[in-house]
Amino acid sequence: MSIYAEKELKHLGETAGCQDHDHDLVHELSRRLDMLWRYDQYIANADWREPIKGFWQEMKAQEMDNIRRLKEFLKEEINQNCF
């Protein structure tokens, strides 16, 4: 690694606003919310292809369940003052 790169990355991670597992939950929730936002467009794009449209609808339903579960974990972390 170059000296410049070492200097640039030297202090990354020194300060954390929460524990790694809580950050992971927040990061994953954000990622999945972004994906959920796209599924309606994917479904509309496949409107004339029922098997593909059905696939995107299934993916959307699964994502909604994943989001619900992530929110539950985050609520538990917040309620236990772990956040």
> Total domain count for the chain?
1
The residue range of the domain holding 36 is 17-79
pLDDT given at position 17: 84
Does residue 11 lie in a domain region? no
Looking at the chain, how many residues does it have?
83
DSSP state for residue 18 in the 8-state scheme: S
Does residue 9 lie in a domain region? no
Under 8 Å between Cβ of 65 and 24: no
Q: Taking the CA atoms of the chain, what radius of gyration do you get in angstroms? A: 19
Q: Nearest 5°: CA angle at 32, between 29 and 34?
A: 110
| Tokens 């992971």 found at | 24
Does residue 61 lie in a domain region? yes
Reference 36, options 67, 73, 74; nearest CA is: 67
The model's pTM is 0.78
**Tens digit of each residue's pLDDT (9 = 90 or more) over 18-77:** 888 999 999 999 999 999 999 999 999 999 999 999 999 999 999 999 999 999 999 999
Does residue 37 lie in a domain region? yes
Does residue 2 lie in a domain region? no
